[in-house]
Structure 1
Amino acid sequence: MRIPRIYQPGPLEVGQTLALDDDGANHVGRVLRMQAGQALILFNGEGDQFPATITEAGKKQVLVRIEQRESQDSESPLSLHLGQVISRGDKMEFTIQKAVELGVASITPLWSERCGVKLSGDRLDKKIHQWQKVAIAACEQCGRNRVPEVRPVMKLEPWLAEPFDGLKLNLHPRARYSINTLPEPVTTLRLLIGPEGGLSPGEIEAAAAQGFTDILLGPRVLRTETAALTAITALQVRFGDLG
């Protein structure tokens, strides 16, 4: 049986006994129904992981003892920042989950002219918090010990203008170049993925003015969530650690 991995924020030390936070305790105690004496692995996002043993398990509290520290680097050599225009329904959560599994380093949700999602105030704050929890859960599942940040939502133009020393790419169905024509090596990269209706002509021009290169994935027009994951996979195969 695979040993469950649980994100536990805060300092972790060998020999320490601690109570899991609410999310971890709920998952271990209520969902997995684990008992005292069973093993799990903790990580706090700083890079290492910590095999631990449950010493007390209840519906409201789970205590664990950390047995050892392990260094395990599963991060991609390609530092990829995804700028994703917010998509409807659960598509955004799906994109974030799979992007984290594929190795992205950080994600910025974006507003654009043709973005069909309307969020503000508390609803927006709760959504960002939920997206970060999706990223954490994806790390628990895929074995990453560093949690990508889901940044606050930005409008597209300020995000385009942020200082960045690396390759900047914009998916465009009529671009002249493909990922396979990009020069090597690339270690830092920004990838822009537009909304379901695509970026407006003005936004495409704005991206080009900020140094973004239009790239093509293939002859078919992909949905926004398909485009993001296909592009990330192709970039990790070419410049990262997939393949």
Structure 2
Amino acid sequence: MISRFFYPLPLPAAGEIQLPEALAHHAARVLRLRDGDPVILFDGTGGEMPAVLRLRGKLCFAELHERSEVERESPLRLVLVQALASGDKMDWIVQKAVELGVAAVVPVQAERSVLRLAGERAAKRVEHWQQVAVSACEQSGRNRVPVVAPICGLRDYLARPCEGVRLTLDPTATQRLLDAGRPAGEVHLLIGPEGGWSDDELAACRSAGCSGMGLGPRVLRTETAGLAAVAALQAVWGDF
């Protein structure tokens, strides 16, 4: 496979560009690419640009070819609203959700979230998750990078307008995915933390117009539930 790299600035239409230090290090030192190897660059605005790697000493350049407008985005705009999970679970969730095609990730602080983040620690963690999303796009072939939103409280999220429907995973819900019709707009999928949503949180979700949805008779872990639901939604309404 040809290596793909996210270029953090708008790509010019043609010519040669110098790759940023971190990108150059990854290409030449980590992946051990050689002078003349083909690569693909994308800047997150859509489309991608085939290029040829040019190594000059410690510097790394890319000789740009004609831009390709290929897109690999799902026709279903999915937003994963994920309650904070402990350990490295959030890394896993963000990575796999981006691979599966979500358009955005909104981390929320829930009452039962084991992980507690605020201030500078929260900002640094979101920055890290955004880079996880970038890497997942490089691997999966996506040319538009989903945004990982700043961490917010559940009720703060619910107070925002939503141009579509909100679905809350609830093991007690009787509605199945196939019971719901295809939404006209985007789908926001709310996933609770390790201990699940509290009764007050579920009540707040219902008051905000969220529809409860189950995933069969089994109770899934937080790092499994969202990804399973995203895959199911992609199969029913997306591009699977």
TM-score (norm: length of structure 1): 0.95
- The answer for the alignment partner of 1:19 in structure 2 is 18
- The answer for the alignment partner of 2:86 in structure 1 is 88
- The answer for the alignment partner of 1:131 in structure 2 is 129
Does the residue aligned with 1:177 lie in a helix, a strand or coil?
coil
> Alpha-carbon deviation of 1:187?
4.0
Q: Distance in 2 between the 1:111 and 1:124 partners? A: 11
Number of residue pairs matched by the alignment: 240
Mark the CA change 1:12 to 1:216 in structure 2 (over 3 Å): closer, same or farther: same
Q: How does 1:73-222 map to 2 (within 5 A)?
A: 73-222=71-220
Q: Distance in 2 between the 1:85 and 1:12 partners? A: 35
Q: Deviations over 1:48-75 (max 9, x none)?
A: 10001111255x5311111110011100
Q: Distance in 2 between the 1:122 and 1:25 partners? A: 28
Q: Distance in 1 between the 2:121 and 2:165 partners? A: 34
Q: Is the 8 A contact 2:165 2:183 kept in 1?
A: no
> Alpha-carbon deviation of 1:16?
2.3
Instruction: Please list every run of at least 4 consecutive aligned residues from structure 1 whose deviation after the TM superposition is greater than 3 angstroms.
Output: none
Structure 2: runs of 5+ lacking an equivalent: none
> Alpha-carbon deviation of 1:186?
4.3
Q: Distance in 2 between the 1:152 and 1:174 partners? A: 30
Q: Does 1:31 align with 2:15?
A: no
- The answer for the alignment partner of 2:45 in structure 1 is 46
Does the residue aligned with 1:41 lie in a helix, a strand or coil?
strand
Q: Is the 8 A contact 1:29 1:57 kept in 2?
A: no
Question: What is the letter of the counterpart of residue 64 of structure 1?
Answer: A
Does the residue aligned with 1:78 lie in a helix, a strand or coil?
coil
Question: What is the letter of the counterpart of residue 202 of structure 2?
Answer: I
Does the residue aligned with 2:111 lie in a helix, a strand or coil?
coil
Does the residue aligned with 2:187 lie in a helix, a strand or coil?
strand
> Alpha-carbon deviation of 1:123?
2.1
Q: Is the 8 A contact 2:112 2:195 kept in 1?
A: yes
Q: Deviations over 1:183-233 (max 9, x none)?
A: 135441111000000010000000000000000001011000100100000
Question: What is the letter of the counterpart of residue 92 of structure 2?
Answer: F
TM-score (norm: length of structure 2): 0.96
Across the aligned residues of Structure 1 and Structure 2, the Cα RMSD in angstroms comes to 1.2
Q: Deviations over 1:80-138 (max 9, x none)?
A: 11110111111100000000011000011110110111223332221111100000000
Q: Distance in 1 between the 2:59 and 2:226 partners? A: 39
Q: Is the 8 A contact 1:83 1:108 kept in 2?
A: yes
